[in-house]
Amino acid sequence: MLCACGSGSGGGGSAESNVVEIKSLQEIVENEDLSGVIETQLPLVYKRGDEFYVLPGFDANRKGEIWGFVLKSGVFLELAYSGPKSWTGTELFAKSMSYKGKKGSLPSLDTIRKGWGRVERQAMEATVATLAANGIKAEAYKNVIWSSTEMSDRLAFYFILHNGEVDYNPKGSEPFERNRGGVQPPRIAIYFGPN
């Protein structure tokens, strides 16, 4: 099954289409009843050990494996802030994870921006609402995400989800954005394609 993850514009310019292949449910686990999957507007990322797999929705049988969303850019974004993350620590985690045999990396700023905007925000909010209705904590366009784009050996850029702006921070510390909603610390974002 394929998911057309992005088309049209969303406030930040035109978003290129990016197709993320979603394994058929039977490819994930054979001989299981998979009829209870609730389709979501954004595909969901599930984690087993150091591997991700993607389904077109929420599977209550895999509630303990759910990890994040696939954004329209193809970036995998964790559901919610899960603890302090420096650029270095996030990069190490991304490189330790795999999807369909490919190792992850931090996404570039250009990659992050591909699908960012109104359309993606609406899809994420609808997906978060579906997850909340099923007892899963998730956040929509909150927090910041590290990018692979470096300013220098010691500084790297991060992307602010709620407004699409960019800032930089030392790689060894955790960035955060202060806004009316309070402090917005980083979430993990991983990319498995060319940046």
Q: Give percent above pLDDT 70 in the chain.
A: 77
Q: What is the pLDDT of residue 188?
A: 94
In a domain, 105, yes or no: yes
Confidence tier at 168 by pLDDT (50, 70, 90): confident
For residue 193, pLDDT beyond 50: yes
DSSP-based three-state secondary structure for 188: coil
In a domain, 169, yes or no: yes
Average pLDDT over residues 7-14: 37
In a domain, 121, yes or no: yes
Q: What is the pLDDT of residue 76?
A: 97
Strands of the sheet with 166-170, listed across from one edge: 166-170, 155-160, 144-150, 186-187
CB 149, CB 109: distance < 8 Å: yes
Task: Please give the Cα distance from 118 to 129 (Å, whole number).
Answer: 16
In a domain, 108, yes or no: yes
In a domain, 30, yes or no: no
Reported residue count of the chain is 195
Angstrom distances, CA of residue 85 to CA of 89, 99, 126, 141, 170: 6, 21, 27, 18, 12
In a domain, 12, yes or no: yes
**Which domain does 128 fall in, by range?**
2-24+35-190
CB 6, CB 29: distance < 8 Å: no
Report how far Cα 40 is from the mean position of its chain's Cα atoms. Answer: 14
pLDDT of 29-87, one tens digit each? 444 555 778 999 999 999 999 999 999 899 998 999 999 999 999 999 999 988 878 89
Q: What's this model's pTM, rounded to 2 decimal places?
A: 0.81
Could you give the number of structural domains in the chain? Answer: 1
In a domain, 51, yes or no: yes
In a domain, 195, yes or no: no
Long-range Cβ contact pairs of 24-30 (< 8 A, separation 24 or more): 25/55, 25/59, 28/53, 28/55
Q: What is the DSSP string of 62-114?
A: GGGGEEEEE-TTS-EEESS--S---HHHHHHHHHH-EETTEEPBPPPHHHHHT
pLDDT of 102-124, one tens digit each? 999 999 999 999 888 899 999 99
DSSP-based three-state secondary structure for 147: strand
Task: Please give the Cα distance from 77 to 188 (Å, whole number).
Answer: 6
Lowest pLDDT segment from 82-86, 137-141, 186-190: 82-86
